[in-house]
């Protein structure tokens, strides 16, 4: 199961990002572990300054804005 | 260069709506059509271009560029980068922590944070188009100098104790992660997303701003501002700064208002003080900053900005 982390301090874009990933995973019927990281200290210690950012299995895929649906499904599908 | 919009307004107001050009109503309607179409055209094209170019400048890179620079150069770099890098307000906390815990001085970090919301290249170009390029220069200089002096002052006062202590506990070992590979297509998408995002946020402000402007344009006589808020009225500048605090707007939203205020005889300095106070001192931003700054620091921050804007107001009233 893929571990997907969404980094953000709680702005609207971060919440939207999280929702997009959840619904995309549901649509593709891929089970994921979706974690929201909102502690600023942890965000920084993971090397992230622009939020929202997305890590899949610990690898940074995206930062500083909303991802595209197409991108999300790519992350979820690739092995 | 923009006659098209005047012609469009001519056509819509005088031909289509059959308004008599001699009336206040016609003048107001004409002003509204010309300004809204022009502003939305400029905003869209400029933001797309700027958003695209900006996809090469990230807060991560700014941090690397600032790292280890001599102080004076660092202040200058910080405000310059602050002027061209906007960041979502929700990024300002991680950014603040990352800057400080990687050894960038508090003053340099604050210089960046002060200037970033104040100076906006889209607003600079709109000011130039609507009011004149001298005003744009005054605007840019004000934003950058306020940031640099503020940063230097904060370092001079050594107020690190007014930063929440947890900020310094961050570990930044992973901070120099390799940059993400970003495709051209992604950069275009980023620009498009940012443009539509800003348009969605400011369109109402622009319409209200221009509408208000149109109302004043057609109806309030020029003598009103000169009589009540002219350069010889010493209270006008502080009043403009205070009145603007509860008003919170993206800087692009205040451009049309500023345009009209100046056209109606409000002095340049007073207008500039009002604009700066509107965009730089805002309650939502203070609430966010409270997470990392002690209340004393917030008070210092607001007081400094308010005093700076009053001085800017007097200064430019005297100069122009």
Query: ipTM of the predicted structure?
Result: 0.74
* Contact state of A44 with B101 under an 8 Å Cβ cutoff: yes
Look at residue A61 and give its three-state secondary structure: strand
* Contact state of A49 with B59 under an 8 Å Cβ cutoff: yes
Closest CA–CA distance from residue B2 to any residue of chain A (Å): 33
> Which sequence spans correspond to the domains of chain A?
2-77
Classify residue B241: in a domain, yes or no: yes
CA dist B163 → A41, B14, B101, B232, B306 (Å)? 14, 59, 12, 41, 21
Burial class (CB in 10 A: 0-12, 13-18, 19+), B165: exposed
Helix (H) or strand (E) holding A55: strand A53-56
How far, rounded to the nearest angstrom, does the alpha carbon of residue B201 sit from its chain's CA centroid?
14
> Could you give the number of structural domains in chain B?
1
Superfamily per CATH, domain A2-77: Glutaredoxin (3.40.30.10)
Closest CA–CA distance from residue A16 to any residue of chain B (Å): 13
Look at residue A29 and give its three-state secondary structure: coil
Classify residue B65: in a domain, yes or no: yes
Closest CA–CA distance from residue B220 to any residue of chain A (Å): 40
In the DSSP assignment, the letter for residue B293 is B
Classify residue B117: in a domain, yes or no: yes
Q: Which structural domain, as residue segments, surrounds residue B281?
A: 48-167+184-319
| CB contact set of B84 (below 8 Å; sequence gap of 6+) | B54, B57, B121
Backbone angles phi, psi at B292, to 5 degrees: -115, -15
My answer on whether omega of the bond before A52 falls inside 30° of 0, hence cis, is yes
* Contact state of B171 with A45 under an 8 Å Cβ cutoff: yes
Look at residue B56 and give its three-state secondary structure: coil
Per the CB < 8 A criterion, the answer to whether B83 and B143 are in contact is yes
Distance, in Å, from the CA atom of B83 to the CA atom of B90, rounded to the nearest integer, reads 18
CB < 8 Å & 24+ apart, contacts of A55-61: A55/A4, A55/A5, A55/A7, A56/A2, A56/A3, A56/A4, A56/A5, A57/A2, A57/A3, A58/A3, A60/B177, A60/B180, A61/B180
Closest CA to B219 of B31, B7, B3: B31
Classify residue B151: in a domain, yes or no: yes
Q: Does B183 touch chain A (CB under 8 A)?
A: no
Classify residue B1: in a domain, yes or no: no
Walk along chain B (320 residues) and give the pLDDT tens digit of each residue: 678 888 888 888 888 888 888 888 888 888 888 888 887 888 788 888 888 887 777 777 788 888 888 888 999 999 988 887 766 566 778 888 888 888 889 999 999 888 887 887 767 777 776 677 888 888 899 889 999 999 999 999 998 899 988 888 776 655 455 556 777 887 888 788 878 877 887 787 778 777 777 776 666 665 666 666 666 777 888 888 887 776 666 666 677 677 777 777 788 889 888 888 887 877 777 888 888 899 999 999 999 999 999 998 998 888 87
């Amino acid at each position: 199961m893929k571990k997907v982390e969404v980094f953000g301090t709680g702005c609207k874009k971060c919440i939207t990002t999280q929702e997009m990933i959840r619904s995309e995973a549901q649509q593709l019927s891929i089970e994921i572990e979706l974690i929201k990281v909102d502690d600023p200290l942890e965000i920084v210690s993971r090397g992230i300054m622009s939020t929202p950012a997305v890590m899949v299995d610990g690898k940074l895929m995206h930062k500083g804005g909303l991802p595209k649906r197409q991108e999300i499904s790519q992350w979820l599908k690739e092995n | 260069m923009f006659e098209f919009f005047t012609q469009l307004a001519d056509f819509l107001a005088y031909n289509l709506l059959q308004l008599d050009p001699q009336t206040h109503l016609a003048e107001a309607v004409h002003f509204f059509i010309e300004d809204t179409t022009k502003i939305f055209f400029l905003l869209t094209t400029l933001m797309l271009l700027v958003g695209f170019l900006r996809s090469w400048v990230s807060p991560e890179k700014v941090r690397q560029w600032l790292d280890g620079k001599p102080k004076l150069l660092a202040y200058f770099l910080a405000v310059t980068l602050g002027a061209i890098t906007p960041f979502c307000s929700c990024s300002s906390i991680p950014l603040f922590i990352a800057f400080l815990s990687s050894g960038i001085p508090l003053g340099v970090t604050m210089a960046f944070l002060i200037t970033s919301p104040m100076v906006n290249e889209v607003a600079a170009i709109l000011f130039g188009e609507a009011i004149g390029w001298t005003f744009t220069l005054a605007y840019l200089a004000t934003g950058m100098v306020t940031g640099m002096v503020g940063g230097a002052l904060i370092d001079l006062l050594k107020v690190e104790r007014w930063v929440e202590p947890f900020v310094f506990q961050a570990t930044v070992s992973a901070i120099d992660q390799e940059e993400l590979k970003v495709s051209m297509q992604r950069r275009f998408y980023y620009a498009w997303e940012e443009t539509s995002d800003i348009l969605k946020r400011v369109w109402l402000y622009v319409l209200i701003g221009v509408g208000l402007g149109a109302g004043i344009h057609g109806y309030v006589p020029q003598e009103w501002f000169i009589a009540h808020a002219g350069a010889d009225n010493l209270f006008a500048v502080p009043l403009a700064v205070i009145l603007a605090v509860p008003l919170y707007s993206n800087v692009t939203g205040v451009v049309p208002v500023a345009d009209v205020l100046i056209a109606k005889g409000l002095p340049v300095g007073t207008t500039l003080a009002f604009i700066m106070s509107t965009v730089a001192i805002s309650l939502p931003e203070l609430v966010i900053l409270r997470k990392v700054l002690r209340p004393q620091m917030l008070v210092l921050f607001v007081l400094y900005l308010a005093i700076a804007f009053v001085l800017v107001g007097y200064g430019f009233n005297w100069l122009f």
